[in-house]
Amino acid sequence: MGLRNVRILILAAAAATIFSGCASFSISDPKDGALNLPATTTVTVIATPSMSGVVVKVDGNDVSNQINYVSDQRSSGNLTLAAGRHSITAQATVPCWYCSPQSWQASFQANVCVGAVTALGTMTKIALAKADGLSWSKTSDTTVGVATDTGTTMTRWNTNRLGGIASTTGLIQSTENGCLCMRSMDGSQNTPIGLAICDGNDATQQWQALQVAPFGTGNFRVQNNGRAISDACLTEGANGVLVQRACNDTPDQLWSFRDNSTGALGPPFQ
């Protein structure tokens, strides 16, 4: 082996030794973005090389007394969480030889969601396209398509109004997975609509339904509050995908809404 190769191996070994001593800190369980967690959820905090003074909060409330010491590198405990979205934060002091001073006030946050005990059932609505009668359909935990309604929770949605009684804006929540709401994923035309953990403060999850003339026909355009005005309407795309396009009130982006408990048509956000 040449001298040059020996030097490379020595440098690589030295680098591996240095990085193996790096400090780390995280919530290993549940993972950030975890969906449909059980009501009693195990929360585990880990660190390298060690940690002290561990503080854990759920939605800003200190629950550290429920987190138990396992080792210098691990603390864990079971927390009871209500259905819905939660923010879990952990903080601790972690030794760090390359920090100044030689300790690190570490922090980590995980945003998670606990699934409802049962699906929200009859208090839901279905969107029907003027173009061909197809409905919004949850195709995965991240994607939305259009498909024929088969009476399953995949095409049932909870349209949750934001604001007062006259508000035309709300969240579009999956019935099949109550942790997820429709979200505009990008500002570009023809971007497929996605699903994310429901957050009423996220403007890209806020949808406004405006009735389209002639009034009384029950047709609505549904546009996103987080994008340019009238630039992101829910539209039937190619290959059964729900996308966003500029609002032109064409049949592929006009929707009527049926209440699945009464069968009546009306505005989505009531």
Domain range list for the chain: 23-114, 125-259
In percent, the amount of the chain with pLDDT more than 70 equals: 89
> What whole-number distance in Å separates Cα of residue 84 and Cα of residue 82?
6
- Tell me how crowded residue 41 is: count the other CB atoms within 10 A of its CB: 19
Map tokens 């946050």 to a residue.
109
- Taking only the tens place, the pLDDT of each residue in 156-179 is 999 999 999 889 999 999 998 989
> What whole-number distance in Å separates Cα of residue 178 and Cα of residue 81?
15
Query: Residue 143's Cα: distance from chain center in Å?
Result: 12
Half-sphere exposure of 157 (CA within 13 A, CB side): 28
Q: Which amino acid is at 149?
A: D
Beta bridge partners of 245: 233
Answer for the pair 101, 68: CB distance below 8 angstroms, yes or no: no
Tell me the residue length of the chain.
270
> What whole-number distance in Å separates Cα of residue 235 and Cα of residue 51?
51
- Taking only the tens place, the pLDDT of each residue in 74-126 is 999 999 999 899 999 999 999 988 777 778 899 999 999 998 755 545 568 99
> What whole-number distance in Å separates Cα of residue 179 and Cα of residue 149?
21
Q: What is the pLDDT of residue 216?
A: 67
> What whole-number distance in Å separates Cα of residue 86 and Cα of residue 32?
10
In percent, the amount of the chain with pLDDT more than 90 equals: 73
What is the side-by-side strand order in the sheet with 84-95? 61-62, 52-58, 84-95, 103-114
> What whole-number distance in Å separates Cα of residue 241 and Cα of residue 227?
19
- Taking only the tens place, the pLDDT of each residue in 16-75 is 333 335 899 999 999 999 999 999 999 999 999 999 999 999 999 999 999 999 999 999
Predicted structure pTM score: 0.80
Helices (H), 26-138: none
> What whole-number distance in Å separates Cα of residue 64 and Cα of residue 86?
16
CATH number for the domain formed by residue range(s) 125-259: 2.80.10.50
DSSP string over 233-258: EEEE-GGGBEEEE-----GGG-EEEE
CATH topology of domain 23-114: Immunoglobulin-like (2.60.40)
Q: What is the pLDDT of residue 122?
A: 55
> What whole-number distance in Å separates Cα of residue 38 and Cα of residue 173?
19
Structure tokens at 225: 């509050």
Q: Which amino acid is at 138?
A: K
Of 5-14, 111-120, 226-235, which range is least confident? 5-14
